[in-house]
Amino acid sequence: MGPSLMTATDPGPFRLRRNTRDLPQAVEALAGALPARTLKTVLAQANRTATRKGSTTAFGSMSPRPADWYCFESGDNDTTEWYPQGLTSTSESGDQDVQAFAATWYWKPQGPAAERGVRVSFLSPATKKYRHVLLVEPKGTSYAAVNIHAGGIAWYGDLLYVADTSRGMRVFDTRHIYEVEGDDDKIGLKSGKYHAFGYRYVMPQVDAWSATGSARFSFAAVDRSTSPHMFVSGEYVDPADDPGQVGRVARWPLAPDGTLVAGADGLASAADAFTLPAGKIQGALSYKGRWYLSQAASSTKNGSLLVVSAGQPAQVKKFPVGPEDLTCWNEKNQLWSLTEYKGRRVLFAVPV
């Protein structure tokens, strides 16, 4: 059965409650113990190099090829311990001072191993350099790994929203990046020294939005073509695992400070929600009145890009193998995504 229509549905299951807890105090404690570094500094100290329009098998039978793409270094392309999932950019955030992509990777080692959580790769398209930053959950004067799938990431102002599938959204802040010096087998404060599994920079969680309903949060994006700008998230559903279930997507208005618009009770209600027209949707973005959806197939078969206009069936276009989250580079009218499978990992763009 081919893709169907997107239809309006009840946004109620997508309510999010702000759940800040003591995170600001814990971050403040880390700020007093560790040197802060700007995103510009992190990019200037980037220790890996992407190859623009490098050789890759990620595109499979896709024709024409994407308009642009960046290949990761071989160690990141071939690792079986880290898998890329979410993608966002400074175009989505609105930052005019720096241009960068940010991609999430989740830890999935073969065999037993200590949890290493989630890392974010900040990549400069100008220099083609990138660096991994470890996301951490602050705990008193220390921190722990963030053990989530991180299937999507969105960037608005200084805030990074990272999808926490059943719980909602975790929030990080690019104004809170800290440099550490520690061994590659430890995490947090040990014997008076801060560690991050060998990573040089950590970014602690500063806030959270907790799900109050049945919705899952599998991907994330920002639509800057609306007024106000909208935060987008929705559900990955595999019909083989959940027969008869249909994924949904929802949108929330964003406040100028980057937070979701919420009432005095801290509850942010989605402005609207829609059923997805097909299963296995890995990323969703609304832009200038259309919906763009990335659909997975398998580790060897091309995925699809579904383009949906109001009241119309989805147009299906061929996408690379293993497509994930979506983001829009607004100034170039380009839709960007990334691929997850070992040996086939790229950031890539198609026109919108």
pLDDT at 244: 85
Domain assignment of residue 38, yes or no: yes
Tell me what the mean pLDDT of segment 86-105 comes to. Answer: 97
Predicted confidence at residue 2, as pLDDT, reads 62
Q: Which two tokens stand for residue 123?
A: 């990549």
Kindly report, residue by residue over 294-351, the tens digit of the pLDDT: 999 999 999 999 999 988 999 999 999 999 999 999 999 999 999 999 999 999 999 9
In a domain, 75, yes or no: yes
Domain encompassing residue 309: 12-351
Residue 157 in domain: yes
Assign 188 a pLDDT band (cuts: 50, 70, 90). very high
- Let me know if residue 248 belongs to a domain: yes
Q: Residues 125-132: what's their mean pLDDT?
A: 98
Per-residue pLDDT band for 291 (boundaries 50, 70, 90) equals: very high
Considering the domain boundaries, does residue 111 fall inside one?
yes
pLDDT surpassing 60 at residue 1: no
| 111: confidence class by pLDDT, cuts 50, 70, 90 | confident
Q: Reply yes or no: is the peptide bond before residue 228 cis, omega within 30 of 0.
A: yes
pTM above 0.95, yes or no: yes
Q: Is residue 7 part of a domain?
A: no
The answer, yes or no, to whether residue 205 has pLDDT greater than 90, is yes
Kindly report the average pLDDT of the chain as a whole number: 96
Strand partners, 318: 304
Question: Could you read off the pLDDT of 21-56 as tens digits, one per residue?
Answer: 999 999 999 999 999 999 999 999 999 999 999 999
Q: Secondary structure of 21-70 in the HEC alphabet?
A: CCHHHHHHHHHHHCCECCHHHHHHCCCEECEECCCCCCCCCCCCCCCEEE
Q: How many domains does the chain fold into?
A: 1
Whether the per-residue pLDDT at 266 is higher than 90: the answer is yes
Residue 112: per-residue pLDDT: 86
For residue 82, tell me if it sits in a domain: yes
pLDDT on residue 3: 74
Contact 152, 325 (CB under 8 A): yes
Average pLDDT over residues 3-17: 94
Q: What percent of the chain has pLDDT over 90?
A: 93
Domain membership flag for residue 314: yes
pLDDT tens track for 234-255 = 999 999 998 988 899 999 999 9
CATH number at residue 338: 2.120.10
**Is the model's pLDDT at 14 over the cut of 90?**
yes
- The pLDDT score that the predictor gives to residue 184 is 85
Contacting residues for 333 by C-beta, under 8 A, at least 6 apart = 351, 352
Structure tokens at 19: 């759940």
